[in-house]
Structure 1
């Protein structure tokens, strides 16, 4: 255990989050996502796990140390429901609440069609699989920057 670090963030996840640079993307996904096959195509090249926790719990842990990119409008992306792109299920509302707590309101999840989401995921830095069993618990996040002390 480390002081001030969410205990869900294991050593492998912390390594990946630290290694990512500004503009790199990461996937946080549910148990049905083709996580291993997509993770093999990412920059990291292997699957990471935060198991036995919901997508919102994993996102909350990740965002406790990872800033979202403020230079793009789609720093937080959700997979759209097939044939219902405007519907936002409970799992996505919970993740939105985690984003709001970490980043403040005004950072809405941007919906992306399922197959387009898969293609975007293949270009991510890494994939983190969670224990989320509800459908459409899949998200992409773009890493931002931490300004020098005293600057905003």
Structure 2
């Protein structure tokens, strides 16, 4: 345990967040996401939902300020009546940590899978909400 670091972040995820450089991406997947099939590096956080993991990660990870939309959501498949209310929770979490955040990039399902394959890491969660996957693009910490 460390002070000021969420205890839900396993040590290997902390190491990965430190290793990531500017422009690297991390995917936090829901319980249905094929994380093991697509990941270069897989971290399991099965006992937690995406909002808790997202909040813990956002305490440490700066978003890329050199792109218009550094956070990506998987689009609902056409014809699927699902309305992902969890996305507003994501917006609240990200805006708490990144006040200049503007909006999410919406990515078609199979394009999202392809983007996830390129991510530095995929975090598998136990989230039961549908379309609850998110990709974050890491930015830089500016000198104070």
Partner of 1:46: 41
Matched residue pairs, number? 143
Backbone CA RMSD of aligned residues:
1.6
Alignment deviations for residues 108-147 of structure 1 (CA, whole Å, 9 cap, x no partner): 1211110110011111101001110111010110000001
Partner of 1:10: 10
2:98 is the counterpart of 1:103: yes
Give the alignment's TM-score, normalised by structure 1.
0.88
Alignment deviations for residues 24-69 of structure 1 (CA, whole Å, 9 cap, x no partner): 0010000101100101xxxxx3310222222111100000000000
Structure 2 stretches lacking a partner, 5+ long: none
2:108 is the counterpart of 1:129: no
Question: Does structure 2 retain, via aligned residues, the 8 Å contact 1:27–1:140?
Answer: yes
Question: Does structure 2 retain, via aligned residues, the 8 Å contact 1:99–1:107?
Answer: no
Give the alignment's TM-score, normalised by structure 2.
0.93
Question: Does structure 1 retain, via aligned residues, the 8 Å contact 2:94–2:101?
Answer: no
Structure 1 stretches lacking a partner, 5+ long: 40-44
Query: By how many angstroms is 1:96 displaced?
Result: 1.3
